[in-house]
């Protein structure tokens, strides 16, 4: 069965606090991660929390990349959701792992938009 999209949920551990608390750096890395995978950027929104932490999203034609950071734990939660077959979400995830200098990454992929095709009796007959 084909899926409409692929959603990678990634967790980065052991990242430097100064990276995870720098909105400009995170925004640049997230945009570059999208571009590295061949995505088309539409919108970019990031927010710095007080006293620490950053959340943001890069909206792409193929869906989005999102991040939430906890600098005090050296941790970032990242979602990369892409639709279609042209953009591989894993390219973005590995780019971010490298550029966040994460000591460890865990990630899993979820297929989104899987439809079970119901074939009517009439369609079955015409296919024979």
Give Cα separations from 55 to 4, 73, 86, 128 (angstroms): 26, 15, 26, 54
15, 63, 64, 93: the catalytic one is 63
The strand pairing partners of 80, in sequence order, are 8, 65
Q: Which of 7, 15, 83, 92 is catalytic?
A: 83
Q: What are phi and psi of 57, to 5 degrees?
A: -145, 140
Annotated active-site residue 63? The verdict is: yes
The residues assigned a catalytic role are: 63, 68, 83
């Amino acid at each position: 069965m084909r899926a409409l999209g692929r959603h990678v949920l990634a967790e980065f551990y052991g990242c430097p606090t100064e990276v995870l608390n720098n909105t400009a750096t995170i925004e640049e890395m997230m945009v570059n991660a999208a571009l590295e995978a061949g995505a088309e950027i539409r919108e970019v929104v990031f927010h710095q929390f007080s006293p620490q932490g950053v959340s943001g999203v890069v909206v792409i034609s193929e869906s989005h990349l999102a991040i939430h950071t906890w600098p005090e734990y050296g941790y970032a939660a990242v979602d990369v959701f892409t639709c279609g077959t042209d953009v591989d979400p894993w390219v973005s995830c590995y780019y971010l792992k490298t550029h966040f200098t994460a000591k460890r990454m865990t990630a899993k992929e979820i297929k989104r938009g899987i439809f079970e095709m119901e074939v009517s009796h009439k369609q079955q007959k015409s296919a024979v």
